[in-house]
Amino acid sequence: MTLDAPSTLPAVNRSIVRCTRCPRLRAYCRRVARDKKPEFRDWQYWGKPVPGFGDPEARLLVVGLAPAAHGANRTGRMFTGDSSGNWLYEALYHHGFASQPQSTSRDDGLTLHDCYITAAARCAPPGNKPSRVELDRCRPFLAAELRLLPRVRVVVTLGRIAHDAFLKAAGWWERLPLRARPPFAHGAATTLPDGVVVIASYHPSRQNTNTGRLTPAMWDQVFRTARRLLG
């Protein structure tokens, strides 16, 4: 898939919302939006690809995996409406990147400062597992965002899929030999040849936070490092 070189982030976001490249994912998002969870039966689900969100002058970029079926697929904002988002926005608020510690809906008044949030895939995938082909189809959106976020100096990648997606979208996957690619290991900070620092982190999914694989202290240290690097 190629994009017609959108010149603004709003243009990229419009392209994301209109995308129909992955029929399996689009059908799943619509089905979830129709059937809903009982606790969200009064919600009008978003049910479409989810655009990025944040400050167009951001120096911090956060790359996640994909919208959650009853999180961003419901609310229409990345990392909004699920436990992963609770972890993320609380950390962003604590370290001065968000105006409030919770993100509940697109109209809750939250703003991001010096931070932009995006993902490897824009549609909620069954089992939280987009296919390789689906990730490839979605990658041009991330590449377009990177072109339009020229001030980014620190990238936090949440999970290995997001980590690899960023490296591919930024061109480093092909340009760097395997041994020189930033490794995926929680807390590892690697400086790329252009000076951008990539900080790898476990994803704040329930699978990681409920089992202790990712602790609050480990999570806080990721954003503490990002803040220190940005000053």
CA distances from 206 to 30, 115, 184 (A): 24, 24, 20
Q: CATH code at 72? A: 3.40.470.10
pLDDT bin (cut points 50, 70, 90) of residue 4 is low
Render pLDDT for 19-60 as a digit per residue (tens, 0 to 9): 999 999 999 999 999 999 999 999 999 999 999 999 999 999
Q: What is the pLDDT of residue 169?
A: 98
* Statement: residue 183 has pLDDT above 80: yes
Which residue shows structure tokens 């990712």? 214
Mean pLDDT of 133-154: 98
- Joined together, the tokens standing for residue 91 give 């950390």
**Running DSSP on this structure, what letter comes out for residue 116?**
E
Query: Would you say residue 111 lies in a domain?
Result: yes
Query: Would you say residue 4 lies in a domain?
Result: no
The separation between the first and the last C-alpha atoms of the chain, rounded to the nearest angstrom, is: 37
Render pLDDT for 126-135 as a digit per residue (tens, 0 to 9): 999 999 999 9
pLDDT bin (cut points 50, 70, 90) of residue 2 is very low
SS3 content of the chain, % helix, strand, coil (to 5): 40, 10, 45
Query: Would you say residue 1 lies in a domain?
Result: no
Query: Would you say residue 139 lies in a domain?
Result: yes
* Statement: residue 1 has pLDDT above 70: no
Percent of all residues in the chain with a pLDDT value above 70, rounded to a whole number? 98
* Statement: residue 92 has pLDDT above 60: yes
Helix segments in the chain, DSSP class H:
9-18, 23-35, 72-75, 83-94, 132-147, 160-169, 172-175, 206-209, 216-230
Residues 122-144, buried b or exposed e (16+ Cβ, 10 A)?
Answer: bbbbeebebeeebbebbbbbbbb
**Total domains present in the chain:** 1
Query: Would you say residue 100 lies in a domain?
Result: yes
Query: Would you say residue 2 lies in a domain?
Result: no
Query: Would you say residue 21 lies in a domain?
Result: yes
Query: Would you say residue 52 lies in a domain?
Result: yes
Give CA–CA dist 139/66, Å, rounded: 12
Mean pLDDT of 161-175: 98
* Statement: residue 152 has pLDDT above 70: yes
Residues 33, 43: contact at Cβ < 8 Å? no
- Domain with 182, as residue range(s), is 9-230
Q: What is the pLDDT of residue 6?
A: 77
- The one-letter amino acid at 103: S
Residues 110, 54: contact at Cβ < 8 Å? no
